[in-house]
Amino acid sequence: MLIKRKSIEQAESSRRPSRKPKFAPVTLSEQDGVRYLHFGTEWVQGAMRIRKPDWPELEYAQQMMAWMLFIEQPQAIAQLGLGAATLTKACYRQFPEATVTAVELNPAVVAICNTMFKLPPEDERLQVLEMDAMDFVLDEANHGAFDVLQCDLYDATARGPVLDTPEFYQACNACLSEHGVMTVNLFGDHPSFNKNIKAMRFAFDHVICLPEVHEGNVVALCFRTKPDLDPARLAARAAQIVAATKLPAKSWVKGILNA
C-alpha cells in the first residue's frame, strides 16, 4: 500500500510531541551550614541545612506545607519537581501513615538528592518517578489518588513554572481526592504570575496566595472544594502544627485571612 508523504507528515504532527529536554548542569554551593542546589546558575533550586536535613530551610518551602491547616492526616502526597528533596523528606518523616511520591524529569537531580541531600531510599511508602510531571497528572491511574500535590517546577532560567496551562492545572485537580489541596511555588514579580493565577482559578474552586517571601516567591493554595476558613479553627490547627513541627503555621493563617 502506498501512502502519500503529506498524509504521514500530517499524522505525525497531530501526535503530542515527546519532550527531549536538554538539562542544565546540576551544581552545588554551601554557605553557613546550608547546602544549595543550582542548575548551573545563581538561582537557588533548593536548600538543606546540613545538620537538619529534614527541615524545610527556605521560607517558601515551609509555606508549601500550608495545606496542613486543612488536611491533618493525608494518606497520599505527591511532589511535582523534586528540587533538593526538601518537601519529599519533610512529608515522608512527618506523615508516617502516608505514601509520598516525587516526580522528577531530570535523572541528575534524583542522583544528587540521593548522594548530597539525604533523600531516603525508596520503600513501600516512598517512590521517586523519573518522568514528566504533565504525563504524571494526565495518567488516569493517578486521578483521585492524592490528598496533596506540591508543585515546584522550574528550570535553570527560573522564568516561571515550566508547566502553567489551564490544562495542566485541570489535570492536577483531577489527581486530587475530594477535599484535596495543591500548593504551587510562583514568582510574584514575574509576568508568569498572572498567567498561572488565571489558569489555577479556571481549574480550581478556590485559590489563595500567601504573602511574598524571598523577594519574589509566592505560594498559592489551590482547593478542589471551598475550604473552611473559620479563624478560630485555623488558629487552633496552627497551634497544633507549631507544637508538633515548629513550622510557622500562625503566619500562614495570618496570610490566608488577609488575602
Tell the burial category of 155 from Cβ atoms under 10 Å away from its Cβ (0-12, 13-18, 19+): buried
**Interacting residues of 70 by C-beta distance below 8 A, sequence separation 6+:** 179, 181, 223, 227, 228
Q: pLDDT of 47-61, one tens digit each?
A: 999 999 999 999 999
Q: CB neighbours of 190 closer than 8 A, spacing ≥ 6?
A: 159, 160, 216
More confident residue, 186 or 17: 186
Burial of 65 (0-12, 13-18, 19+ CB in 10 A): buried
Q: Hey, what's the cell of 53?
A: 536535613
Whether the pTM exceeds 0.85: the reply is: yes
Q: pLDDT for 189-216, tens place per residue?
A: 778 899 999 999 999 999 999 999 987 8
Query: Between these two residues, 220 and 20, which has the higher pLDDT value?
Result: 220
